[in-house]
Structure 1
Amino acid sequence: MDFGAKRWACVLLLGVMGFAVTELGYVAAAAEGEVEVRRGKAERPKEKEDEKETEEEKEARLISETREALVGENMPRLYVKDWINGRMSRGLMEGKFVVVQFWAAWCSDSLNAIPANNEFWKDYHGGRLVFFGICSSDRDQDKMKEVVKESNIRYPVVKDPELKTMRAWEIERWPTYVLVAPDGEVVAVEGSIELIIKKLSEMTRLQGKMENIEAEKKQ
């Protein structure tokens, strides 16, 4: 179960244990078998428009939560080992765009994304861009090498054995893509490589315009 699913289960449990409001305005709260009665204003609980969250809504929410936590912050640390298809380091990332994909060996969405990731790697890697994947789930990290071979992964991938990287980056959903600017600031968090490419294109166009303006000023 991912962190988002655990959180959802906790919310449901809290809903079951919620407060009861009496006609006389006394609020009773149950805690560990004891009942505390407090004087309060009786209010009719607000009804939620939609109690059930769809899978698409859940995925969008989890991506949004990671985006809110990361965008505008410096790139968090990496706690990884067992690189395949090359090794990345902070030194290799300095001054470059960095795209990190968090994926899981058991996740069908992660596996389905591999062909698009391979195309992205072929078209964009080298020069001013670094791309790699982090196998970060608490399940099946031992199968990473097998998946790399069977799915023909061409880009660098690495394990997150203690899940320290996943926690530091506040990842709650697989796959999640994070785009880091050359100055080390996180600028985008998305659920697909296509959305990262769109953001990257926007940034490079803007950067090109700024460089042209600076060049004209110097003439």
Structure 2
Amino acid sequence: MTRPVLLIAGGSRGIGAATAKRAGERGYDVAINYKSNANAAADVVASVKKAGGKALAIQGDMASEADIARVFGETAQALGPVTHFVHSSGIIGPYSRLDEADATMMREVFEVNTLGAILCLRECARHMSTKHGGKGGAVVMLSSMAATIGGAGECVWYAAAKGAVDSMVIGMSREVAKEGMRVNAVTPGVIDTDIQPAGRIERVGPILPMGRPGEAHEVAEAILFLLSDAASYVNGANLRVSGAR
């Protein structure tokens, strides 16, 4: 039988990497995108292959329209039609109050987290939707609890960028619901990955409702559920993995 093909934007680290490794163990062939850390991407590819899946890493900037199209095309050429997609590319920028934030930094955050995300969704439709000759598929977009709580004093711009992701998931899921596609979101809380600024996990972890941060593999499990056939009637949903935050 043909194995499903999962493409993960931002799959070389953190939640994306944890998802890729578990997907390889559960029968997916996996392509991961990375921007600069080729060594980390190679480690993820090796883990997927060790689990019995095909895998490759593709360099590309997920804020670039041309790179997004190329990454999808190279995945399809190497592994077959993309059937599943996870958007895990994201940057936050230095934490500060909004009135102290740099406009160039904020623009980059929106280009990666918002514009890049919606361009990836558009590419998903072009590859998966039955309207375009695809066979359908499942998409999971990574949001953030910052979109719900606002990021005050830390990253209001990032919260706004991820709030846009929440909106595009609702709209896109309704556009393609009759075209064989499901589009959902996962909203992580504070997760112990390298996206966190130095010292934040130690400072914030003990005051979280569960007394600890989440782990990347805990978010990956939620993502894989939404990608799976077990979630066949889950569409347009946003699943919080935030430890009651």
* TM-score, reference length from structure 2: 0.29
- Larger strand proportion of the pair: 1
Higher relative contact order (CA 8 A, sep 6+): 1
**Which structure would you say has the larger Rg?**
1
